[in-house]
Amino acid sequence: MAGIEHIEVEPDEAGMRLDRWFKVHFPGLGFGQLQKLMRSGQVRVDGGRVKTDARVQPGQMVRVPPLDVDAKGPKSGPIAGSDLKHSGDAELLARMLLHEDDKVYVLNKPAGLAVQGGSGLTRHIDKMLEAWTNKKGEKPRLVHRLDRDTSGVLVVARTRGAAQKLTAAFRERDTKKTYWSLVKGVPRKHEDKISTWLVKEATPDGDRMRIAKHGEEDADHAISYYRVLETAAQSLAWLEMEPYTGRTHQLRVHALHMGHPIIGDPKYFDDDPNWDFPGGVQKRLHLHARHIDIPHPNGGRLRVTAPLPPHMVQTWNLLGLDMASAGEPDDE
């Protein structure tokens, strides 16, 4: 057991919640233990008392009392493609963890990792969650999905009862999901609602959704909302998008339907010889599940925000897009 430490917050930890900071540096420290240390004032930031949801900034000093846990066991920071191949399930899940309590985990899913299995998939989150099976033999349960190429907030239930309540919240649309995207061009209306019918069709490149006519067989109604947060040289727009319904590829198809497909979308962004793909921007899907607001199984609301994946951070920096200008939802 080490003595009192004062650890400086690193530049890549800017804006990280203090409880998440401890999860990264001291993965063996339980949330309950941390709360006790906070309440008794043993954990301080720049000498002052703080709460677990405080946001740390580079250069701040975190006072860490003696802890009977291992320091910084697993690797921290953004999850790269090599990590997905070589890191263990429990380690990867711990690095994705944004929120943990007795009923719910919230993960920040990296782009490129599937949520569920499919043909040719050797690794997916549903299978990885077996590493977090509890002493009763209960494996955490998925309650919603994200596309493989979409990063961001993924809610996971820790118990059967929690899964039932969370699933009902999604079904009854008592959730608010906010996505950030970067699209080609700038929509004429800076805020609007998109309402269409969608149907799945098989293509040589796999299943794809398309706009359908009202009444078309197997078509589902889909509603999305968007607003423009910022633009770059009138050739790109940063959108905040909210799906009211939860159809497959809904936001991606609706962006295409507007005439403003999401940058780097492998299914719905067609190369245009009259439009230059921005230099320095990776050809990866620029769609991120940024924030969720959902009823907590124990009562009240759970609100969690996920940091952008590395390829989108790179793009935002390249284009000079100011994340602070969007305003941040309040997490609890």
306 is a domain residue: yes
150 is a domain residue: yes
Q: Are residues 270 and 241 in the same domain?
A: yes
Instruction: For residue range 102-140, list pLDDT tens digits in order.
Output: 899 999 999 999 999 877 777 899 999 999 988 888 899
Q: What is the mean pLDDT of the chain?
A: 88
Instruction: For residue range 262-307, list pLDDT tens digits in order.
Output: 999 999 998 777 788 888 899 999 999 999 999 999 999 999 999 9
Flag whether pLDDT at 163 surpasses 90: yes
Residues 266, 241: Cα–Cα separation, whole Å: 19
Contacts of 108 (CB under 8 A, 6+ apart): 96, 97, 98, 151, 152, 153, 154, 306, 307
Flag whether pLDDT at 143 surpasses 60: yes
State the amino acid at position 316 in one-letter form: W
User: Which of 159-166's residues contact partners 24+ apart within 8 Å by CB, and which partners?
Assistant: 159/103, 161/103, 161/297, 162/103, 162/104, 162/297, 165/295, 165/297, 166/104, 166/294, 166/297
Query: Is 163 within 8 Å of 143 (Cβ atoms)?
Result: yes
Catalytic residue among 19, 147, 265, 293: 147
What integer pLDDT is reported at residue 1 of this predicted model? 41
Residue whose C-alpha is closest to residue 150's, from 123, 179, 170: 179
- How many Cβ atoms from other residues are within 10 Å of residue 66's Cβ? 10
Per-residue pLDDT averaged across 198-207, rounded? 87
Flag whether pLDDT at 244 surpasses 90: yes
Q: Are residues 153 and 135 in the same domain?
A: yes
State the amino acid at position 313 in one-letter form: V
Q: Are residues 154 and 189 in the same domain?
A: no
76 versus 61: the higher-pLDDT residue is 61
What integer pLDDT is reported at residue 84 of this predicted model? 73
What integer pLDDT is reported at residue 327 of this predicted model? 60
What integer pLDDT is reported at residue 147 of this predicted model? 93
Q: For the chain, first and last CA: distance in Å? A: 32
How many domains, the chain? 3
70 is a domain residue: no
Confidence of residue 178 (pLDDT cuts 50, 70, 90): very high
**Residue that terminates a domain, selected from 172, 190, 221:** 172
Per-residue pLDDT averaged across 93-98, rounded? 91
201 is a domain residue: yes
Burial bucket for residue 205 (CB in 10 Å: 0-12, 13-18, 19+): exposed
136 is a domain residue: yes
Q: Are residues 56 and 86 in the same domain?
A: no
Domain CATH code at residue 289: 3.30.2350.10
Residues 126, 107: Cα–Cα separation, whole Å: 12
Residues 182, 105: Cα–Cα separation, whole Å: 28
332 is a domain residue: no
Q: Is 147 a catalytic residue?
A: yes
What's the domain range around 246?
177-326
Query: Is 8 within 8 Å of 59 (Cβ atoms)?
Result: yes
253 is a domain residue: yes
**Residue that terminates a domain, selected from 115, 137, 172:** 172
- How many Cβ atoms from other residues are within 10 Å of residue 14's Cβ? 14
Q: Are residues 167 and 181 in the same domain?
A: no
Flag whether pLDDT at 332 surpasses 50: no
Could you tell me the two tokens for 160?
């059967």
What integer pLDDT is reported at residue 273 of this predicted model? 78
What integer pLDDT is reported at residue 161 of this predicted model? 95
Instruction: For residue range 40-59, list pLDDT tens digits in order.
Output: 899 999 999 998 888 999 89
Domain CATH code at residue 19: 3.10.290.10
What integer pLDDT is reported at residue 69 of this predicted model? 62
Confidence of residue 71 (pLDDT cuts 50, 70, 90): low
